[in-house]
Amino acid sequence: GAGVSQSPRYKVAKRGQDVALRCDPISGHVSLFWYQQALGQGPEFLTYFQNEAQLDKSGLPSDRFFAERPEGSVSTLKIQRTQQEDSAVYLCASSFEHRYGNTIYFGEGSWLTVV
């Protein structure tokens, strides 16, 4: 596709509900990232994939958060038993290679509100 595509764009979840957020990176991009952006804050790193391998998940805030990229393209971020503090924009990003200096392209984000 022309850019990083994320769905759903907006999600309202009841506290305790499980949610799944999908990211479709730019075709051929090796690296894929998930970031969390709270209102009025900068994005914070969650996890990083190189192809299907999850090389860094140090930013995942708890074991309720799980990400996968089984075939090295589409990725899903799953949040189990959502809490109000999970309300944020979840940004997916991709880049062509894992070398420094490659442009990272962000999607428009999935806006999650937990009520």
Question: Cβ contacts of residue 95 below 8 Å, gap of 6+?
Answer: 29, 30, 31, 33, 102, 103, 104, 105
Q: Which lies closer to other proteins via its Cβ, residue 30 or residue 80?
A: 30
Shortest spacing between CB 38 and other proteins, in angstroms? 10
Q: Which lies closer to other proteins via its Cβ, residue 57 or residue 64?
A: 57
* CB-CB contact of 18 with 79 (8 Å): yes
CA nearest neighbour of 75 among 98, 97, 49: 49
Cα separation, 30 vs 90, in Å, equals 20
Q: Which lies closer to other proteins via its Cβ, residue 58 or residue 84?
A: 58
Q: Which residues bind other proteins (CB under 8 A)?
A: 4, 31, 33, 35, 40-45, 48, 50, 55-56, 91, 93, 95, 98-109, 111
Shortest spacing between CB 108 and other proteins, in angstroms? 5
